[in-house]
Chains A and B, each alone.
Chain A
C-alpha cells in the first residue's frame, strides 16, 4: 500500500541547531502514530514539517501524492491536513461557531447553511453543542482544545496532526480531549500525534516512535516499545516519563 505520508531523509537546521538529522518515515492511510521523545528531540519540528509550517532544508515529504518540496502546493496540502496545537490557537475575536466556520467558508467555499450544518454536527461530535455562540475566552482549556479539533475537522482532512494537544491542559481536562481523539482514531483517521499520553498511545496507536537528537531512535507498536524497548536511550527516556 502506498503511504499517505512519505518522509525521506528530511533535515532541518535552526540557527545553531541541527533539529532534524535525516528522518525517514512512512505512514499508511488510517494509521495512528504517536511520537514521543525529550524536548528538543525534533518531534514537533518533524510534525510541523508535514504541513510545512516549518520548511525543511533537505530531503522530501510527500503527502497524499503531493510533494511539499514545491511551495506552490502548500495550500493544497494544508487543506487536507488538519493541525491541533498545544496552545489551541483559537481565533479570540470570533465565536466558537465562527472559528469553525471561517475556513469552511473562505477555503472550502461552502455556503453559510452548509457550513453551519457541518459546524453544528462537529460541535455535537466533540460534545459542546451548547457553546456555539460562546467566545474562546469563555471556555475551559479542554473545551477550547475540542473546538480546535472541530475546527480542523471541518475541513474534512485526510490526516490530522496533533502537536502536544494535552500539554497545556489542567489534568482533569485531559481525558475529554483524549476521548475525542480516541473516537477519531476508531473512525479510521490517519493521525500523527506528538504526545506523552501513554494511555492514549496504548489504546489507539498502531505505532509509537521515539525521537532523540533529531533522529528516530526506535519504533514499534506502543505495547512493545513501552514494555520491551531495545535501545538504551528509549529505556532511559521511558524510565523518566512512565
Chain B
C-alpha cells in the first residue's frame, strides 16, 4: 500500500470560513503501552537471571520453538492477507456463482474448529491423496507424505482467510458508494477503482481488525503443536514432560506468547498512526 506523505503546512486564507486545519497528527508522543511490553520482557529476564533453574533452562530449550511459531504465523498471515482479499471481493461479487462459492467457503470454514481443520489437513488430506493415487495408479501420489509445517501453514491460512474475507468485505463496504461511482465515472475500470480508490481507504479502516486477526493467529499457531510441528507450545510440553515443572514451564511459555502478542499490538497501533487519514 502506498504510504501517505504527511500533508505540508497549509497557508490559511482568512477570508474563507472552514474547519480548523491540523497540520500535525494527534498523538505524536510515544505510545505508553510500550511500558507493558517492557515490563513483560523485564519479568522474563528477571526470572531467567534470578532463578536460572528452571527458567533459564526453559528459555534455552524452547528458543527454536519461538522461531517456528513466528515463522508459521507470519507465512500464514501473508497468505491470509491475499486469500482474505480474494474471499472478500468474492463475497461482494455480483456474479452469483463467485458470490456463492465465496459465501459457502466462509460459512463452512467458520463453522469448523481450527483444531479439527488442522487434523483434517495433516491426517485426512494425505490419506485422500494416497487413495486417489491408488485409484489413478500414480506412484507419486501413493507415496505422498504430509509435511507437518506445510500442512500447518495450509490449515491455518485456509481457516483464517475465511475470517479475513469478512474483515475485507466489511472494510470495502464501509467506503461510501460515491467513491466507487466517482472512480468509475472517471473511466477507471473495477480493478483500477479498487486498487487506487477503494482499497487504500478500506485498508486504513480494517487495520485494527486485521491486527486483531494477526494476534489471534499468533495464539492459534499453538494449535499446530498437535500436528507434529515443534513450535513454542510443543517445545514447552516436551520440556515439562522431561522435567515435571508445569508451573514454571507454562508461566514462561505464557510470558513469551504475551511478549509476542503485546509487541505485535504495539506495531499495529504504530502503523495505524502512521497511516491515519484526515477526514
A residues near B, CB below 8 A? 51, 53, 75-76, 78-79, 81-83, 85, 87, 89-93, 95, 102-103, 106-107, 130, 133-135, 137-140, 143, 148, 151-152, 155, 170, 172
Whether A135 and B278, one on each chain, are in contact in the complex, defined by CB atoms closer than 8 angstroms, is yes
B residues 1-38 near A (Cβ < 8 Å) are: 4, 7-8, 10-11, 13, 16-19, 21
- B186: CB under 8 A from chain A? yes
Which residues of chain B are near A170, meaning CB under 8 Å?
17
Whether B185 and A53, one on each chain, are in contact in the complex, defined by CB atoms closer than 8 angstroms, is yes
B residues 146-200 near A (Cβ < 8 Å) are: 176, 178-179, 181-189, 192, 196-197, 200
- B237: CB under 8 A from chain A? no
C-alpha gap A106/B204 in the complex (Å): 22
Whether A140 and B16, one on each chain, are in contact in the complex, defined by CB atoms closer than 8 angstroms, is yes
Which residues of chain B are near A139, meaning CB under 8 Å?
18
Which residues of chain A are near B78, meaning CB under 8 Å?
none
Whether A107 and B188, one on each chain, are in contact in the complex, defined by CB atoms closer than 8 angstroms, is yes
Whether B186 and A89, one on each chain, are in contact in the complex, defined by CB atoms closer than 8 angstroms, is no
User: Which listed residue (A81, A107, A152) contacts B192, Cβ 8 A?
Assistant: A107
Which residues of chain B are near A75, meaning CB under 8 Å?
187-189
A52 to chain B, nearest CB (A): 9
A135 to chain B, nearest CB (A): 5
Whether A134 and B4, one on each chain, are in contact in the complex, defined by CB atoms closer than 8 angstroms, is no
Chain B residue with the shortest CB-CB distance to A78: B187
Specify which of B13, B19, B178, B187 lies most central, judged by the most chain A CB atoms within 10 Å of its CB: B187
- B212: CB under 8 A from chain A? no
The majority secondary structure among interface residues of chain B is loop
Which residues of chain B are near A106, meaning CB under 8 Å?
188, 192, 196
Which residues of chain B are near A143, meaning CB under 8 Å?
16, 18
> Could you pull out 19 A-B pairs where Cβ atoms are within 8 angstroms?
A75-B187, A81-B185, A85-B181, A89-B181, A90-B182, A91-B182, A91-B201, A93-B204, A102-B186, A102-B197, A103-B187, A106-B188, A107-B187, A130-B11, A134-B7, A138-B21, A143-B18, A152-B185, A152-B186
Chain B residue with the shortest CB-CB distance to A74: B184
C-alpha gap A9/B186 in the complex (Å): 26
Chain A residue with the shortest CB-CB distance to B189: A75
- The 7 A-B residue pairs whose C-beta atoms are closest, nearest first, are A79-B187, A89-B182, A103-B186, A89-B178, A83-B185, A140-B18, A107-B187
Whether A134 and B182, one on each chain, are in contact in the complex, defined by CB atoms closer than 8 angstroms, is no
A168 to chain B, nearest CB (A): 11
Contacts A91-B197, A138-B10, A155-B187 known; list 13 others, CB within 8 Å.
A75-B187, A83-B185, A93-B201, A93-B204, A102-B196, A102-B197, A107-B186, A107-B188, A130-B13, A133-B7, A134-B7, A138-B7, A143-B18
Which residues of chain A are near B11, meaning CB under 8 Å?
130
Whether A92 and B277, one on each chain, are in contact in the complex, defined by CB atoms closer than 8 angstroms, is yes
Which residues of chain A are near B176, meaning CB under 8 Å?
87, 89
Question: Do A87 and B178 form a contact, CB below 8 Å, given A138-B7, A139-B18?
Answer: yes
Specify which of A82, A83, A103 lies most central, judged by the most chain B CB atoms within 10 Å of its CB: A103
Which residues of chain B are near A103, meaning CB under 8 Å?
183, 186-188
Which residues of chain A are near B21, meaning CB under 8 Å?
138
Which residues of chain A are near B185, meaning CB under 8 Å?
51, 53, 78, 81-83, 152
Whether A93 and B277, one on each chain, are in contact in the complex, defined by CB atoms closer than 8 angstroms, is yes
Which residues of chain A are near B187, meaning CB under 8 Å?
75-76, 78-79, 103, 107, 155
Which residues of chain A are near B8, meaning CB under 8 Å?
133
Which residues of chain B are near A79, meaning CB under 8 Å?
186-187
C-alpha gap A93/B186 in the complex (Å): 17
Whether A78 and B178, one on each chain, are in contact in the complex, defined by CB atoms closer than 8 angstroms, is no
C-alpha gap A103/B197 in the complex (Å): 10
Whether A89 and B184, one on each chain, are in contact in the complex, defined by CB atoms closer than 8 angstroms, is no
Which residues of chain B are near A51, meaning CB under 8 Å?
185
Which residues of chain B are near A82, meaning CB under 8 Å?
185-186
Whether B17 and A151, one on each chain, are in contact in the complex, defined by CB atoms closer than 8 angstroms, is no
Question: Do A78 and B17 form a contact, CB below 8 Å, given A89-B179, A93-B204, A93-B277?
Answer: no
B189 to chain A, nearest CB (A): 6
B31 to chain A, nearest CB (A): 23
Chain A residue with the shortest CB-CB distance to B13: A130
Whether B10 and A134, one on each chain, are in contact in the complex, defined by CB atoms closer than 8 angstroms, is yes
Which residues of chain A are near B279, meaning CB under 8 Å?
92, 137
B18 to chain A, nearest CB (A): 4
